Copies of this chain bind each other. A is one copy, B any other.
């Protein structure tokens, strides 16, 4: 399968997942519109959180694929596994909303997010190991940097899950820091992702 085809299909799934999240938000609880709005405020918070996280996964997927030059059967199916985990995100999002983010919902949400990052790392491992599907000229340093970018959040998700029994809002804030780290200007990141940034400016 041509890379562009696989990218277009993946982009389609990301776009659908990110848009389907709103279907969890329904008029419920009765009363005026404002009362119904307040009634579902936990769902509104997790809607925004999941939207930004799926957006981040889309950007990360796009950036990774930029360095992949060709695809094969294994890559195709690992990519479908990644899409399966991403397409699953609306369910733990709904759990979080339905239980006002109880402990175990945070765990299920955290495990889903961690799985997304782990499968993403596996995809990069598959493509970059022995430069199977990426440019032979890619530096070992850059390959390792991508691993760190994808595995770093798993640590954060782990801490957030460990913190859930103690302080649940803190868990969600910690999870929300992951996309913020990538979204906000960030000297640590800037220095290392010059090539990615160049791509994002449309120069790549």
Q: How many residues of A contact B (CB 8 A)?
A: 71
Q: Which of B32, B94, B204 contacts A102 (CB 8 A)?
A: B32
For residue A48, which residues in chain B have a CB less than 8 angstroms away from its CB? 84
Q: A126 on the interface (CB 8 Å rule)?
A: no
Q: Give A73 to B63 CA distance when docked, in angstroms.
A: 12
Binds B, one of A3-11, A114-122, A138-146: A3-11
Complex Cα distance, B163 from A116, in Å, reads 35
Question: When the two chains form their complex, are residues A200 and B1 in contact, meaning their CB atoms are under 8 A apart?
Answer: yes
Q: Tell whether, in the assembled complex, residue A200 and residue B76 are in contact, meaning their CB atoms are under 8 Å apart.
A: yes
A16 and B14 in contact, given A33-B96, A90-B22 (Cβ under 8 angstroms): no
Knowing A2-B202, A11-B9 are in contact, say whether A33-B84 is a contact too (CB < 8 A). Answer: no
Q: Can you identify 12 A-B contacts, CB atoms within 8 angstroms?
A: A2-B204, A5-B11, A9-B15, A12-B16, A22-B90, A32-B102, A36-B99, A47-B88, A69-B202, A72-B197, A73-B183, A76-B200
Contacts A20-B23, A26-B91, A73-B183 supplied; 6 other A-B pairs, CB < 8 Å: A5-B11, A8-B11, A13-B15, A27-B99, A32-B102, A55-B84
